[in-house]
Amino acid sequence: MSFTSAFTISRLLYSAAIFLGTPLLHMHLKRRLKKGKEDPKRILERKGLSSISRPNGEVIWIHAASVGEALSSIPVIECLLKNANNITVLLTTGTVTSAKLMNERLPERAYHQYVPLDKSTWVQDFIDFWKPSVVIWLESEFWPNTLCIVKKNSIPLCLLNGRISQRSYNRWQKAPWIIKGMLSCFDICLAQAKEDASYLSDLGAKNVLCLGNIKLGAPPLPVDDDQLSLFFEILGDRPRWLFASSHDGEEIIAADIHSAISQTKTNLLTIIVPRHPERGSDIANKLRSKGFKCKLRSNGHVPDKDTDIYIADTMGELGLFFRLCEIVFMGKSLIYPGGGQNPYEAAKLNSVVLFGPYMSNFVELSNSMIEANAAYQVRNIEELNEKITELLSSPEKRQFHIENTSIFCKKSEAIIENSVERILNIIK
């Protein structure tokens, strides 16, 4: 049986299961509503029905799975709008958090909608309404019906910042006809790294190019200047470090490191920004039970002289805490299997960037930063403890890393323009 036939049969079975399971999809959405994971006023968007009118002219549809991808799409959207006056951009995501952020940050002539679930009729209704001139898919969230229906409607389809982790690559090799069928829908695949480009080509993508990671061309994370001034006034020259985008199990590591360093570095402040802010109260309770004095950002508190650990459990404020701390450790990289968080966002804001051994989601970026002395990789908790202690004691070493980081960042500014140029060529 050919790859095409195998994919066609697999997709037909998948579509049939989705169709027969439509009542389950409705139940799924109801459960998500009860958990606060869907917007009750916009739930019909998940079924392909728009809640706003379609603007006149051409529409470019960009899909970003969640917060990280959506934020990285903003400079792309701004560049598209700047280079083509007659278009509107529609951005879809699948989470309430990303929708809230995008409604605050999208520029004029750009709109947000929730992406419809992968049911053929819902996707077709969505496309019939919006009539996009081109569809841009970010990174690696592939939905068989959606991609095939875009292709069936003869709409150019571009994969932007394409990413395939080694784990995903190994998994897809067990069902190569499925991934090849989906990747064949794309007219062009712009990979974020050479390794991703190689994986995409091996798995069946065509017209694969590596222009670089668009996150490297993104502007610095935003900040509320009043809050920044307030925190600088409160903290003064107090020694501090940041554990950014922490995951479950990592906060206690940060607390243990705080205890160890505090033996020699008095008045130390450790700031933790959890990847999932809703965990803030639980984190605080665990750390308080071990004797740490904690304050929660979500309660409107600011750290005082007695605060050991400040938990910044709010959305969209990483830019504030990156600017406050010259020493930043990126979470989800110290405990196996990890995967890491984007180290470039901290690098953009003049931080000494540290991460652990498990950076499989950012292999090329992390390696490039290490080679340029723009980041430091620790192998374990003991090394992290030693490195933070060393950096807290040496302004000269901090400045050395920050200067190298600045040089590294300046080399990445053309990626957005080059990517947008390729996309606009597809439209033309």
pLDDT over threshold 80, residue 150: yes
Tens-digit pLDDT profile for residues 379-392? 999 999 999 999 99
pLDDT of residue 411: 76
pLDDT over threshold 70, residue 201: yes
pLDDT over threshold 90, residue 102: yes
Average pLDDT of every residue of the chain: 93
Mean pLDDT score, 63-77: 90
Mean pLDDT score, 87-105: 94
Predicted TM-score (pTM) of this structure = 0.71
Mean pLDDT score, 240-259: 97
* Rounded percentage of the chain residues whose pLDDT exceeds 90: 80
The band of 227, judged by pLDDT with boundaries at 50, 70 and 90, is: very high
* Three-class secondary structure assignment of the chain: CCHHHHHHHHHHHHHHHHHHCHHHHHHHHHHHHHCCCCCHHHHHHHHCCCCCCCCCCEEEEEECCCHHHHHHHHHHHHHHHHHCCCEEEEEEECCHHHHHHHHHHCCCCEEEEECCCCCHHHHHHHHHHHCCCEEEEECCCCCHHHHHHHHHCCCCEEEEEECCCHHHHHHHCCCHHHHHHHHCCCCEEEECCHHHHHHHHHCCCCCEEECCCHHHHCCCCCCCHHHHHHHHHHHCCCCEEEEEEECCCCHHHHHHHHHHHHCCCCCCEEEEEECCHHHHHHHHHHHHHCCCCEEEHHHCCCCCCCCCEEECCCCCCHHHHHHHCCEEEECCCCCCCCCCCCCHHHHCCCCEEEECCCCHHHHHHHHHHHHCCCCEECCCHHHHHHHHHHHHHCHHHHHHHHHHHHHHHHCCCCHHHHHHHHHHHHHC
The band of 85, judged by pLDDT with boundaries at 50, 70 and 90, is: confident
pLDDT over threshold 70, residue 426: yes
pLDDT of residue 81: 94
Tens-digit pLDDT profile for residues 260-288? 999 999 999 999 999 999 999 999 999 99
Q: Could you tell me the domains of the chain?
A: 3-16+30-213+415-427 (3.40.50.11720), 225-410 (3.40.50.2000)
